[in-house]
Chains A and B, each alone.
Chain A
Amino acid sequence: MVSPFAPSTRHLAWGRVHRCTHSVSRPRGVAEARAALAARGHRSLLPYGLGRSYGDCCLNPDGLLLETRGLDRLLSFDAERGIVHCEAGVSLADLLVTVVGRPAPDGGVWFLPVTPGTRFVTVGGAIANDVHGKNHETAGSFGHHLIDLLLLRSDGTIVRCAHDENADLFRATIGGLGLTGLILEARLQLVSVPSLWLENEDLRFEDLEGFFRLAEDSRGWTYTVAWIDCLARGRSLGRGIFSRARHLNDRRPPPPAPRPPRVTVPFDPPISPLNPLTLRLFNTLFYHRLGRRGRRVGVMPFDRVLYPLDGLAEWNRLYGPRGFFQYQCVVPPDGAFSTIARLLETIARTKQGSFLAVLKTLGDRPAPGLLSFPMHGVTLALDFPNRGQPTLALMDALDDIVLAAGGRLYPAKDGRVPAQVFRAGYPLWKRFAELKDPAFSSAFWRRVGEEETAPATERPA
């Protein structure tokens, strides 16, 4: 029989820092997935969705990838209860053009309960990183809305996991980084919203205190997030634009379904257009874009608000051939102000600023997974072009601040966190390690999870 695996150097993470070779299989169903398991030999396995993770939690260098794009069928939709049953490779973009928007019995329409800042992620990937959205305060994370899932383990067995069945494995698989097995199918509870239009406001704030004030003031708003000018220092430290939105309660006709991206970045520009000069220009222009009043209100289709980056396909290439890192941490509410201030000062001092620095408060719902990232507090996310050593040193310095504050980093965004930093932030990691499937592994896990604290690990160049 021909091998179900083919070599590939094209399976990258979104940050494009790590370059490696995989053997890739794309099973179309259980039978082919089992055939791939049988053909694995001694090599380790890792599921791969749409590769929207920034770092190495979706990479398994020199190992095997089980690409889930062949498992992308919608299986059923219960329009009364808003429950969608689908294969794990179905993307949120697929759900948005099919079941989302169908009428709910309460007069509203069904909508995604939680969505990250891009719609091009798979349901499996959303579970495995237990993703959160701009509505974390009220909605929690993706795993909170998961009814059950089917997990294929490397011994070929299929396990149903839910709150009341294999609950341990369920908690391990939510935020389980693809390490507990291949999720084949899942059932997800949608939410009913008044409409697919969002009423939204953008408000400028002049310093970090302004952010916290607006966050406090915005409790009646479903979606909140802030962009920070991370080059601003001194009195302007932490200035930025606060965006908040909520579903409009009115009977206008639904907006058109989100369209595929109109523009694609066709290749890696040899020299990245994102450099210190354009960075300063962008941050300054962005901060001032709201004009003198510092405020803009409007009504928009949900995708314009929730997926501002989805209009430009493969924008990650703009960082050039060396790629970029994302750094996302969360710190507890107590002391969050001074911690975030210290993080921003450290970044501003090195002038390695970030185009997209995002600040947001997270709610206090207990996390559904053993390794779920979201916890009560404030999360800061930054993009850093990969300049090698200086960039890694900056992130190490940020780690110290986060750790001291009792915070942690988001694996979906990470490609370099040292083992001890990961372990300090995720005290349940040992419990997780017991539930992990022995045949599944990733570059991320080999760095942070394997027993001996590895010597100051191999670092991307």
Chain B
Amino acid sequence: MTTPSRALKIAVFGATSAIAEATLRLWAAQNAQLFLVARDRERLERIAADLTLRGARGVKSFVADFDDPSILAPMLAAMEAALGVPEVALVAFGTLGDQKAIARDPEAVRRTLLTNIVSPAVLLTALAERFEQAGRGCLAVITSVAGDRGRASNYVYGAAKGGLQTFLEGLRHRLAKSQVQVLDIRPGPVDTPMTAHMSKEGFLWATPERVAADILRAVGRRRTVLYTPWFWRWIMLVIRHLPQPLFHRLNI
């Protein structure tokens, strides 16, 4: 492998996520320079060591809980000290939780919306300023196919992800005149800790490695909305257009 003379600079928010880690390994193999944020210090340190051995040119990490608004300024200062404005910022954190429990618990609804739409939107607002000024780069954000239509099995999480999709659409509109790419990543079900309690029978499950490879390709090709694996674009097209009487009879 040839080492590029200047390393790609990448910041990942939610670096302990399984999808983020798989994606980071691909970037590490390209000798990227990394800035990682997550809330679990011990796992974050292990991931940083691992990525260094897998080829990353320098890894700086920062421990933070994204639901705490006071971390925003110090976190972004640490990012700028480490990388300046990176070429790619990947926003990967999120929580799924147990919809059955969440749906009847107002406090759980508040927390789910906080982590999956409020916190990412706040972070993206701050990042967008910097990217717009730099006039380049990619804001890559993991939403979900769950945001495409509200469903009984996960509509609280889905509402947050759908809101985030709309936020990204607007941000993309606003940044259209700059060279900044806004990538909305919509995975179907992925075999990760978030879905650890679910049975993986059936063939619709993807691996984090598969999703990671798709993410890298979409960033490289300056895509705007990525369904991963690809067939989810068509499945969700159908689901979005199902007439309500039919939709209500489905157990999804």
Residues of A within 8 A of B (CB): 2-10, 25-26, 28-29, 32, 70, 73-77, 87, 97-99, 257
Contacts and interface: CB of A to CB of B under 8 A. Distances in A.
B43 interface: yes
B71 interface: no
Given A29-B46, A74-B49, 6 more contacts: A4-B196, A4-B197, A32-B193, A73-B50, A97-B29, A98-B54
A73 B42 contact: no
B53 A76 contact: yes
Contact of B197 (A6, A8, A29, A70): A6
Contacts of A7: 199
Count class of interface residues, chain B: 20 to 34
A6 B196 contact: yes
Nearest to A256: B1
Given A2-B98, A28-B193, A29-B42, A74 B50 contact: yes
29 contacts: A2-B196, A2-B197, A3-B197, A4-B196, A4-B197, A6-B197, A6-B198, A6-B199, A6-B200, A10-B201, A25-B196, A28-B193, A29-B42, A29-B43, A29-B46, A32-B193, A70-B18, A73-B47, A73-B49, A74-B49, A74-B53, A75-B50, A75-B53, A76-B53, A77-B53, A87-B46, A98-B53, A98-B54, A257-B1
B55 interface: yes
Contacts of B16: 28
Nearest to B205: A10
Contact of B46 (A73, A77, A99): A73
Contacts of A76: 49, 53
A8 B46 contact: no
A5 to B, nearest CB: 8
B15 to A, nearest CB: 12
B201 to A, nearest CB: 7
Interface in B2-19: 16, 18
Contacts, number: 54
Contacts of B50: 73-75
Interface in B187-242: 193, 196-201
B206 to A, nearest CB: 14
A268 B8 CA distance: 42
A3 B170 CA distance: 38
Q: Kindly list the 7 A-B residue pairs having the minimum CB-CB distance in the complex, ordered from nearest.
A: A73-B50, A74-B53, A2-B197, A73-B46, A74-B50, A7-B199, A75-B49
A444 B196 CA distance: 27
Contacts of B29: 97
Nearest to B1: A257
Nearest to A95: B53
B104 to A, nearest CB: 16
Nearest to B197: A2
A409 to B, nearest CB: 33
B197 A9 contact: no
A143 B16 CA distance: 32
A98 B16 CA distance: 21
Nearest to B55: A98
Nearest to A23: B199
A261 to B, nearest CB: 14
A74 B200 contact: no
B193 A26 contact: yes
B93 to A, nearest CB: 15
Contacts of B46: 29, 73, 75, 87
Given A73-B46, A98-B55, A99-B53, A10 B98 contact: no
B200 A10 contact: yes
Interface-central residue, B18, B196, B197, by most chain A CB under 10 Å: B196
Nearest to A2: B197
A147 to B, nearest CB: 17
Contacts of B193: 26, 28, 32, 70
B201 A9 contact: yes
Given A70-B193, A98-B55, A8 B199 contact: yes
A257 B54 CA distance: 13
